[in-house]
Amino acid sequence: MMNILAFFAHPDDETMLAGGTLALLAKNGAAVHYLCATRGEGGETGEPPVCTPGELGEVREQEIVCAVQSLGGASLTFMGYIDPPVGLQGELLPYSQDLTMLAGQVAVSIQQFSIDAVISHGSNGEYGHPAHVLTHQAARLAVTSLGKSAPLFYTIGAIFPDHPRPRLANRDDPAHLVLDISSVLDQKTRAALCYRTQYALFVRRPSAEQGRPMSISEVLQRLESLHRVHPAALGQPDDPLVRLLRIWSVPEHNR
């Protein structure tokens, strides 16, 4: 059995950015352990509000528990960092200034669960979110610090030609694996629907772009992509994650 560590900054990142991939891994026999840096205390409370700002961390904790169960996760661990609120001018902020400490904590989780592969945010933080960038940096440092016992490391939201949501793609991370997650779309949808506080956030931009109200199921990505960071490679058919997924798709520009 392959042990996967899915390390993300906030509740809902795991579902909206990589829920199909993580559900496929669990479906094919992997034990997917979720590690969430914060409880999303600084986010939105919903429209209309589902809770007060002071209750948001507890509510979003319950939401990610629901989502991880929907995705077939093996465990969920919170690191206890506090998600800072959005700034007055809309600034997004990291949840820690101590990268070394954060990476050390991630390394402990890797060893605790005998992790074979880590999956986390991309190097550009998808749409540039500083907390996502920090999470990526911590995952990368944790993996490389383990030397010969280091697990594989993949990042989500890798860029490929004609990406359906380029705003959410990491421009510096070329895709080594592109997955059609249609077979687990129901699971991803159920996980997304766990996040009642985030419904308005999920559909706001897509609805504005389409000029009409869109549903949660309509905004979910059907294609997800991975970039292999460590060991650095274009991904090969003997890659253990590829074998587990039983899918092999390398974009044309990487062949």
pLDDT at 252 over 70: no
Please write the tens of the pLDDT for every residue from 128-140: 999 999 999 999 9
Q: Residue 247: its pLDDT value, please?
A: 59
- Kindly state the average pLDDT of the residues 109-117: 98
Domain that holds residue 60: 3-254
Residue 119 token pair: 């999956």
Q: Which pTM value belongs to this model? A: 0.94
Domain count, the chain: 1
pLDDT at 251 over 80: no
Please write the tens of the pLDDT for every residue from 23-33: 999 999 999 99
Q: Residue 117: its pLDDT value, please?
A: 97
Please write the tens of the pLDDT for every residue from 144-200: 999 999 999 999 999 999 999 999 999 999 998 999 999 999 999 999 999 999 999
* H helices present in 71-129, as ranges: 99-112, 125-128
Q: Calculate the alpha carbon distances from 35 to 13, 31, 120 in Å.
A: 11, 13, 10
- Kindly state the average pLDDT of the residues 229-241: 74
Average pLDDT, the chain: 93
Amino acid letter, residue 72: G
Q: Residue 234: its pLDDT value, please?
A: 53
Q: Calculate the alpha carbon distances from 26 to 20, 125, 179, 192 in Å.
A: 10, 25, 15, 17
Q: Distance of alpha carbon 158 from its chain centroid, rounded?
A: 12
Q: Residue 254: its pLDDT value, please?
A: 43
Q: CATH number, domain at 11?
A: 3.40.50.10320
